[in-house]
Structure 1
Amino acid sequence: MHIDLNADVGESFGTFKIGEDQELFRHITSANIACGFHAGDFNVMEETVKRAKEHGVGIGAHPGYPDLQGFGRRALQMTAREIYNCVVYQIGALRIFCDIYGVPLQHVKPHGALYNAAADNPAVAEAVAEAVYDSSADVYLFGLTNSELIKAGQKVGLKTASEAFADRLYSDDGRLCSRLLPNAVLKSFDDIFEQVKEIIFNERVKTQSGQWLPMKANTICLHGDGDHVAHHTMLIRKALEKAGVLVEAIGKEI
C-alpha cells in the first residue's frame, strides 16, 4: 500500500509570507508550486524549487486563475483558449526554474477555482489537459478523483493521478464543498487524520450529509496555508509509515 502526500507551497509574495513551506518540505513527497498568477512570484518560485530539490520532493506546477487578490479562489469568466494559454504560460515559467536546477517537473495540478471548474466542466478540463500535454507531455496531471479533469487527461494521453483532500469536506456527488459553507475546511487533527485513514485504508470518504462515498486516490493534499499543517503532516506521515504504508512521490509508485 502506498500514497503520495502533496501540499500547495510557494504562495508567499514579496515580503508577505504564507504557509509553513520550510517545515512542510520535511514531510511531504510532492509540492504544488504557485506560478505567480494566484500567488507567489519569480523570487519565491526560484527559492521554492531550490528547497524542493534539497529535500528530494517531487515538483509540480500549480497554475491558477490570474487573481492575486482572490488567491485564485474566485471563478473567472475565461474562454477555453484563454485558460489554455494561461496554464501553458505558468507551466513554462516553473519548468524553466526546474531546468536551471536540474530537476524534473513531476506534475501539474490546477489551483482553487480553476481546479474546481476543471472537475465539473468538460470544456475547462479539456483546455487544462491540452495545455499540460502540449507543454509537458511527460508529467502527471493531478485532478480530483472521478472528475472531468482526470477523464480529459486520460483522453489526451497524459499520466493522471487521482487526488483526495485530507482537510476538505465533500458533497454527496464527490465534489469539494464550497469554502463559504460551515465546516467546509476541517480544522481538527482528529477529523483530518480520520478522513485520511478512511481514504487510504477503506477507499471511502464521509460526505456532508453523513453518507459514505467510494474514493480511491493516488495522492492526498494537505493545504499549505492551513493551521498547523506542517505538524499535522508530520503526524500523519509517521502514523501511515508505522502502519506499513509506503509514502513516496507519485512517479515512483504508479
Structure 2
Amino acid sequence: MPVTVVDINCDMGEAFGQWRLSETDDASLMELISSANIAAGFHAGDPNLMDATVRLATQHGVGIGVHPGYRDLQGFGRRKINGTSDEIINDIVYQIGALREFARRHGANLQHVKPHGALYMELAADEALSRSFIKLMRTVAPNAFVFCMGMSQTYRTAIEAGHPVIREFYADRDYDRSGSIVFTRHVGKLDPAAIADKVVRACLEGKVRTVDGVDIDIDFESICFHSDTPGCLEIAGNMRSALVANGIRIAPVSEVSAQQAYAIRGSK
C-alpha cells in the first residue's frame, strides 16, 4: 500500500559546548522536518543546547523526541559500550528524564524515544535488552512512541507489549537483505537527487535497493536523515520537495500513526 502521509525525523542538538559536528544549524533543518531526535548529553548535547533545541522545536511545531545513546562523547555514541542490562537501561532513564524536563519547561510533551547509534543497533539485535527497554517505556513513558527499524527486536517487542511504535526508513543509509541499515561511523558526500528518488520509491512502491543490488520490501511511518551527513540541508530540501510533488504529505507521527491504523482497519 503506497504511503500517502509520512513523518520526517532528524537527529538534532548533536554538539557539545563550543564543539559543533554538523555543517548546518538546527534552525534551518527544523523548517523541513516534523520530528526531532534531541541528544541528551551522553553521545552529544549539553543542558544549554538541549534547552535551545527544544525551544526551536516548539517554535516550529516539531515533535520532540529524546535520542539516548551510550555514554561515549569521544566516539559520538557509535561504539558499543559494554555494561549490564540494568546499567544500560538506567542510562536511558537518565536521558529520557533530562530531555523531558526541558520539554516540560517549554510547555511541550515528549513525543518519542529513539535510541542513537550503537545503542540503537544493539537493541535491534538483542531480544533481552529490547524487552528491558520496552518494559521501561511502559513504566516511564507509556504514551511516547519508540522509533526503530521494522525488522528489529525492538519493533517486535513493542508490538507484543502494545507499546506505540514507529518504523523508520533511512534516507541516507544503505540497507542489507535483512532490511537492516548497514551501520557506519563515517558517511561521505551523497547525491541529494538520488536520495530523493530512493525515498519517493520507498513511499510509492514499498521497495528499497540493497547494497548488493537486490530490491526488498520496506514498511515504515517515518523517514530519517542525519544532521551530521555532509550536505544534509540540501538532502532534506530535495527529499521534502520530491515527497510533496508526488502527493505525499508530511505530518507528525501521531497523525501518521492514526492514518496507518485507519488504513489497516479499512483493508480488513
Taking structure 2 as the reference length, the TM-score comes to 0.90
Residue 263 of structure 2: aligned partner: none
Percent of aligned pairs sharing the same letter: 37
CA 1:54–1:180 in 2, change beyond 3 Å: closer, same or farther?
A: closer
One-letter amino acid of the structure 1 residue matched with residue 219 of structure 2:
K
CA distance in 2, matches of 1:236, 1:180: 23
1:81 alignment partner, SS class: helix
CA distance in 2, matches of 1:18, 1:70: 12
* Cα deviation, residue 121, structure 1: 1.1
* Cα deviation, residue 180, structure 1: 6.3
Residue 217 of structure 1: aligned partner: 220
Residue 227 of structure 1: aligned partner: 230
One-letter amino acid of the structure 2 residue matched with residue 229 of structure 1:
C
CA distance in 1, matches of 2:76, 2:60: 26
Matched, 1:123 2:128: yes
Residue 61 of structure 2: aligned partner: 56
2:19 alignment partner, SS class: coil
Matched, 1:111 2:116: yes
One-letter amino acid of the structure 1 residue matched with residue 140 of structure 2:
S
1:47-106 deviations in Å (ceiling 9; x for gaps): 000000000000101000111101000011122111211111100000011111111111
Stretches of structure 2 lacking an aligned partner (at least 5 in a row): 258-268
CA distance in 1, matches of 2:70, 2:134: 15
Residue 16 of structure 1: aligned partner: 19
1:90-169 → structure 2 map (5 Å cutoff) = 90-169=95-174
* Cα deviation, residue 239, structure 1: 1.9
CA distance in 2, matches of 1:39, 1:126: 26
**Equivalent pair of 2:189/2:230 in contact (CA under 8 Å):** no
One-letter amino acid of the structure 1 residue matched with residue 147 of structure 2:
F
CA distance in 2, matches of 1:130, 1:236: 35
CA 1:186–1:206 in 2, change beyond 3 Å: closer, same or farther?
A: farther
**Equivalent pair of 1:12/1:18 in contact (CA under 8 Å):** yes
**Equivalent pair of 1:7/1:224 in contact (CA under 8 Å):** yes
CA distance in 2, matches of 1:214, 1:157: 24
Matched, 1:40 2:45: yes
One-letter amino acid of the structure 2 residue matched with residue 171 of structure 1:
D
Aligned length: 252
**Equivalent pair of 1:88/1:132 in contact (CA under 8 Å):** no
CA distance in 1, matches of 2:166, 2:123: 14
**Equivalent pair of 2:202/2:218 in contact (CA under 8 Å):** yes
Q: CA RMSD in A?
A: 1.5
**Equivalent pair of 1:84/1:130 in contact (CA under 8 Å):** no
* Cα deviation, residue 186, structure 1: 6.9
**Equivalent pair of 2:151/2:178 in contact (CA under 8 Å):** no
CA distance in 2, matches of 1:252, 1:189: 27
1:158 alignment partner, SS class: coil
Matched, 1:71 2:87: no
**Equivalent pair of 1:83/1:127 in contact (CA under 8 Å):** no
**Equivalent pair of 1:37/1:68 in contact (CA under 8 Å):** yes
Matched, 1:206 2:225: no
Residue 26 of structure 1: aligned partner: 31
Name whichever of 159-168 and 244-253 sits farther off. 244-253
Taking structure 1 as the reference length, the TM-score comes to 0.95
CA distance in 2, matches of 1:14, 1:186: 26
* Cα deviation, residue 208, structure 1: 1.0
